[in-house]
Amino acid sequence: MAESEAVAGGSPAAQAGETRRPGEHPVRILFVGDVVGGIGRSTLLDCLPVLRERHSPTFVVVNGENAAGGLGITPKNAEQMFAAGVDAITLGNHTYHRREIYPYLETHERIVRPANFLRSQPGKGTCVVEHDGVRLGVINLSGNLYLRAGRSAFTEVEVALSELGEVDHVLVDVHAEATSEKVAMGWHLDGRVTCVLGTHTHVPTADARVLPGGTAYITDVGMTGPRGGVIGVKREQAVEALLTQMPVRFETSEEDPWLMGVLVSCSQRLRADSIEQLLMPRPPQPPRAG
């Protein structure tokens, strides 16, 4: 199937594909949904050069909560993403699956876990990254419905916003199960942040748009991983678990990997001109020698 791109709310300037001069708008933010396992990591690494060539993103932000074998992230996984030019990594309910990430979350500035986790839990919920004098604040939030988060996303986002200080743009990754919470967060922050982008369900939604106040919104950007499985898991294992109602060991599917994300284009501070959904199959691999 061909990759697809749908643009919502695109201004003529944004669609004309002009290039950004240092320190000036427009700014383009590429946000990539949950990277699942080794197949997701290699899909990200293979797709990023193509997306850079095509869209010249100013910033690249990636949700990495499933990077390590489908659950959690290791320092090595994070370093690999940063080495590929990822500016910031967001996380979610699987943040603490791998213990080796705990000290890394405390010492590395550009990786964030949900801001509304307990203050006692390792890591922080906000960071600021900068390119050519443009400052992007990144906030990670967890939904409170069906997910374990110690504090309210709706009250803690105010604290998170105040932590950012002077920034040109703000990206909020709202990692949540319930669509209602994500839609409500979009409205709650409309006009105050550049984009509210949903993650966690691993399934992209068809509601990308710029809200009336100028905030780009989508309920879920989808995942970067195998479409041939069940939200990342080998499909026969997922089906067996549902069929038998017994414990089944889950492994990450390797079938039909795609990168899923969005590109947010901006020409004014804290406002989006457009949000474009990016659904891209992993580029074909050269045949192995021998």
* Residues annotated as catalytic (active site), given as ranges: 94
- With CB under 5 A, what is the number of residues at the site for Fe ion? 6
Q: In the complex with Fe ion, which residue's Cβ is closer, 26 or 198?
A: 198
Smallest gap from residue 16 Cβ to Fe ion (A): 35
Smallest gap from residue 14 Cβ to Fe ion (A): 29
Smallest gap from residue 45 Cβ to Fe ion (A): 18
Tell me which residue of 265, 284, 283, 261 sits closest to 275, measured CA to CA.
265
Check residue 271 for interaction with Fe ion (CB under 5 A). no
- φ/ψ of residue 162, rounded to 5: -70, -25
Check residue 200 for interaction with Fe ion (CB under 5 A). yes
- φ/ψ of residue 224, rounded to 5: -115, 100
Which residue spans within 228-272 are E strands per DSSP?
Answer: 257-266
Site string for Fe ion, 36-65 (x = CB under 5 A): -----------------------------x
**Crossing angle of helices 37-55/75-83, nearest 10°?**
20
Classify strands 4-8 and 225-226 as parallel, antiparallel or unpaired. Answer: unpaired
Select from 34-42, 51-59, 130-138, 155-163 the region that touches Fe ion (CB under 5 A): 34-42
Smallest gap from residue 198 Cβ to Fe ion (A): 11
Smallest gap from residue 265 Cβ to Fe ion (A): 26
Select from 27-35, 42-50, 115-123, 270-278 the region that touches Fe ion (CB under 5 A): 27-35
Scanning residues 74 to 103, which ones bind Fe ion (CB under 5 A)? 92-93
Residue 43 and residue 173: Cα distance in Å, rounded?
Answer: 21
| Residue of closest CB approach to Fe ion | 34
Check residue 34 for interaction with Fe ion (CB under 5 A). yes
DSSP state of 193: S
Q: In the complex with Fe ion, which residue's Cβ is closer, 9 or 232?
A: 232
Tell me which residue of 96, 138, 88, 87 sits closest to 117, measured CA to CA.
96
Tokens describing residue 64: 């990495």
Q: Residues 6, 220: contact at Cβ < 8 Å?
A: no
Q: In the complex with Fe ion, which residue's Cβ is closer, 190 or 251?
A: 251
Tokens describing residue 220: 């879920």
**Which amino acid belongs to residue 272?**
A
Tokens describing residue 80: 């690999």
Q: In the complex with Fe ion, which residue's Cβ is closer, 11 or 179?
A: 179
**Which residues of this chain interact with Fe ion, rule CB under 5 A?**
34, 65-66, 92-93, 200
